[in-house]
Structure 1
């Protein structure tokens, strides 16, 4: 079977026009007649999206309307963990491919609308959402290629009947706007700093950072990276976090492969910083105050005795009891 496939591949390569390149990929493009999705190169070759985000974006674009594309659903479908899938969805949302908005249905309940746009730039220019049914058409071999954009619907055309659930978005609902790429990004949170960067803290923090590659081969940091990140690790050590706990927080569930190891370490040192340990005063229960009985002056002998109510001391009460008997 392997020999048959090799011979077929050799024949196809021999029929390709022009000389074949000496290196790089060679495309054998066989037209699809069913079960295919048109994906723009702006997504497949995006310069700022990770490979996981591009793959999830292509996967979501190929699904029919109504498919579940949340973190739980994608984690059950793919081998990547929840953290990597959640980060990929945030990437797609930041670049306008994915939009999640809360809307109120006709029955009064709130629902989350997940919208995937195959061309965020065109959506931004149009200023409106174009929703096309994701139904794979049965295209014969001689039929023309399916256009990327559906034809514009005239304003006087009647609206399609609404589906029973979920209800369509009312016309009065504002259109989804994609933020421009030139919008200012929120400032980056500063790296944690210790109260005092002692020589002992600096030495231990440098050793932890330099040793990361022995536990995660992707985290190879330069000397400049280690010097920059030392205060962040020192802040963890100052809060009495053990070195093995720091190492676990920095090396667990890493993206494959990480583009910028130093940025990943900096981000985790910043967002995962634990609070300081509480002191003995905060952990100790409130001490109970001792019960103090006030002093009273005896009405008979004027001696001091302890009692909640004024009256006679024990001796005078005994004398009064004997006299009454």
Structure 2
């Protein structure tokens, strides 16, 4: 026992925690050390940050887009220049966000003829934006009754949060979206009826009235290009993703903008210039003088050579 054995393993040393470690650190899983943000922060819902069907790139792009100010560019080339991923992966992630209702992209034609893409970001798909609170008129001061010199103290009341009395006029009336200018035209009614009946093909395509009015001009553009209403319906309802559709209007807007058919070619009519109308050749005739075939707008008995020679075989034979 008096000899020291240097080959024996040393005793296990106690684990010394880091001085900056949290006192409630769990041995497994993640530990959050949160500091309250006061400037430059964005509120992101867990329905996006912990989405079960979106890819990690789509979740990251959704968080980045929601943190941008209004008017910032979020096209594919701008995002590809900002992140290391290429344009193909960026475009695929944007389509994921659009299919789940976090983005809505529509194409608009400017008065100059240029076509631009308008992007709308939804931080909570399917929810209706809250109306801003209306300012209440200031109440006129009422005269206070005269008080006595030594008023009696009020009895002690329990701490109960007081709420203002509810009045019938405090509830704002329901607001409906304004009717678009072209709602009275037959084409707009046909497009609106087509969009409203999509729920018969798939119950997830139940659209509110404001989305029907917003998408009806895009459907009208399809009808103006010769697409039948049944063809438009099949295009909008074919190959829908599985699971719940958080924002069906965004998916329909994407399909209407990306799959719009080309306009039909012009058909030759009586007013079309002769240069573009097909010209049919004159019928073939046989000359009675030389028996040579020639083309003529009317049934002649002789060809041009026989007429110029002035010889009529019928008259000579007579």
TM range (shorter): 0.3 to 0.5
Normalized against structure 1, the TM-score is what? 0.37
Larger radius of gyration: 2
